[in-house]
Amino acid sequence: LTSKLPSVGTTIFTRMSALAAEKGAINLSQGFPDFPPDARLLERASQAILTGNNQYSPMTGLPILREAIANLIARHYDRKVSALDEITVTSGASEAIFDAIAALVHHGDEVILFDPAYDLYEPAVTLAGGICKRVTLAAPEFRPDWQAFSELLTDKTRLVLINTPHNPTGTCWKAEDLESLWQAVASRDIYVLSDEVYEFIHFGESAVSIHKHSELSKRSLVVSSFGKSFHLTGWKVGYIVAPAALTAELRKVHQFVSFCTATPLQQALAEHLLALPEASAGLASFYQRKRDVLRDALANSRFQLLPCEGTYFQLLDYSQISDLDDVAFCEWLVDQAGVAAIPVSVFYQQAPDNQRIIRLCFAKEEGTLLDAAKRLSQL
């Protein structure tokens, strides 16, 4: 068998969560909440199943859910999008990203990513026959270098993949970054795939979004996830917003990858958004408190805390504690401290040699965060 993805193994999330379970460690590795979602949403999902919403939905998503999403985007971003031909509901943001790349990237096309990048982007590009080129984001600020970006553009560049708020670094782009991106791509035939799954989890001024950029939005696909916004990572319901011509291409793939997303879950989310249109409004302050609990509890440890402006991930520099590389350090940490974390080098094509940084997920009960911080502070 000749593998199509020879350098890909099992994801770090699967490996670290399994290790945490095996060793009974506190699991701050894979990003998911350890607290329940809103009980009303669970009740709506049960009712949706019991009242017969159990067959295929329309391929593009339930109309009432697409309407609710259009309303959310209008209210939050002041952008008008068509529920009919610009919004597609997908089985998580993952499916949306995969479909978009499969639909747009031709064999030999170049795709620009920022290094470090979420782990599913590059394999999706490789399977489509594309070639990834990466712009390095340097610790501790992880700011994009727009000169370096421009130098990577060629006639073969088809797509730029961006992600803000950013996993794994917890940094957020500024409005001028979108402007620089626009200036660099304006005269070229390039699309933008914007992964905005942490759109409601940002701790400064409001997060920048392609939805608010009138030019970029005309050639972009913007991805969201109800998993992040409603503490439901296991439901795998997301959506992707793009101009009609791009959406038509995306749907050609989506109809054969999944056809549609779990109908009762779509029904429950639609009813929830209709009943509570501001449901995601408090998410940033909810997570900011958790971030601060974790940061305060680690303030006197030997870890150095990197800035965290968004997402539910906090980066820690452990160079005062160990010389191990980050993968080895995370394995050591499970054994020595009983805490599971994610090594940040796995998100890089080319991780800096002496970088000693791990990622912790703070989408956890405060008690969990305090227990973990206590263990980490003893190192």
Enumerate binding residues for ligand GLN (CB under 6 A): 11, 13, 30-31, 167
- Residue 238, contacted partner among ligand PMP, ligand GLN, none, CB below 5-8 A by kind: ligand PMP
Nearer to ligand PMP, 170 or 238 (CB): 238
Please give the structure tokens belonging to residue 318.
Answer: 């452990």
Residues in 226-265 at the binding interface with ligand PMP, rule: CB under 6 A: 227, 233, 236, 238
Among the listed ranges 16-24, 44-52, 69-77, 86-94, the one in contact with ligand PMP (CB under 6 A) is 86-94
Q: How many C-beta atoms lie closer than 10 Å to residue 128's C-beta? A: 20
CB atoms within 10 A of CB 52: 10
Question: Edge-to-edge strand order for the sheet containing 110-115?
Answer: 87-90, 238-241, 220-225, 191-195, 157-163, 110-115, 131-136
Nearest residue (CB) to ligand PMP, 157 versus 225: 225
Tokens of 68: 């609710």
Partner from ligand PMP, ligand GLN, none binding residue 30, C-beta < 5-8 Å depending on class = ligand GLN
What's the rounded Cα separation, in Å, for the pair 212 and 178? 10
CB-nearest residue to ligand PMP: 92
Maximum distance among all Cα pairs of the chain, rounded to whole angstroms: 58
* Between 91 and 167, CB nearer to ligand GLN: 167
165 binds ligand PMP (CB under 6 A): no
Closest CA to 173 of 139, 219, 199, 207: 207
Write down the least CB distance from residue 348 to ligand PMP, Å. Answer: 15
Q: Does 368 participate in binding ligand PMP (rule CB under 6 A)?
A: no
Q: Closest by alpha carbon to 228, among 114, 363, 121?
A: 363
Work out what residue 227 binds among ligand GLN, ligand PMP, none; the CB cut-off runs from 5 to 8 Å by kind: ligand PMP
Determine which residue in the list 60, 88, 94, 345 makes contact with ligand PMP, applying CB under 6 A.
94
Picking from 18, 55, 6, the residue whose alpha carbon sits closest to that of residue 264 is: 55
Is residue 270 involved in binding ligand PMP (CB under 6 A)?
A: no
Task: Decide if 266 contacts 62 (C-beta within 8 A).
Answer: yes
**Closer residue to ligand PMP in complex, CB, 90/180:** 90
- Contacting range for ligand PMP; rule: CB under 6 A; set: 73-81, 92-100, 315-323, 343-351: 92-100
- Pick the piece of the chain touching ligand PMP (CB under 6 A) from 90-98, 205-213, 293-301, 327-335: 90-98
Q: Does 92 bind ligand PMP (CB under 6 A)?
A: yes
Subset of 104-163 contacting ligand PMP (CB under 6 A): 118, 163
Q: Quick one: which of 244, 248, 190, 243 has its CA closest to 218?
A: 243
Residues 6+ apart with CB under 8 A from 357: 139, 306, 315, 316, 317, 318, 326, 344
Residue 264 Cβ, how far from ligand PMP at the closest point, in Å? Answer: 17
Provide the minimum distance between the beta carbon of 234 and ligand PMP in the complex, in angstroms, as a whole number: 9
User: Whole-angstrom Cα distance, residue 168 to residue 198?
Assistant: 11
User: Which tokens sit at 293?
Assistant: 């609990």
- Its sign, for the CA torsion 352, 356, 362, 364, is positive
Number of residues counted as binding ligand PMP (CB under 6 A): 14
Q: Which helix (H) or strand (E) holds 15?
A: helix 12-23
Residue 221's DSSP bridge partners are 193
Nearest approach in angstroms of CB 1 to ligand PMP is: 27
Cβ-Cβ contacts under 8 Å for 108 (sequence gap 6 or more): 129, 130, 131, 156
- Nearest distance from C-beta of residue 169 to ligand PMP, angstroms: 11
Least separation in angstroms between CB 72 and ligand PMP: 16
CB 14 to ligand GLN: min, Å: 7
Asked if 88 is part of the footprint of ligand PMP (rule: CB under 6 A), the reply reads no
Q: What phi and psi values does residue 183 have, to the nearest 5 degrees?
A: -60, -40
Per-residue tokens: 251: 């749907």
Binding site for ligand PMP (CB under 6 A): 31, 92-94, 118, 163, 167, 195, 197, 225, 227, 233, 236, 238
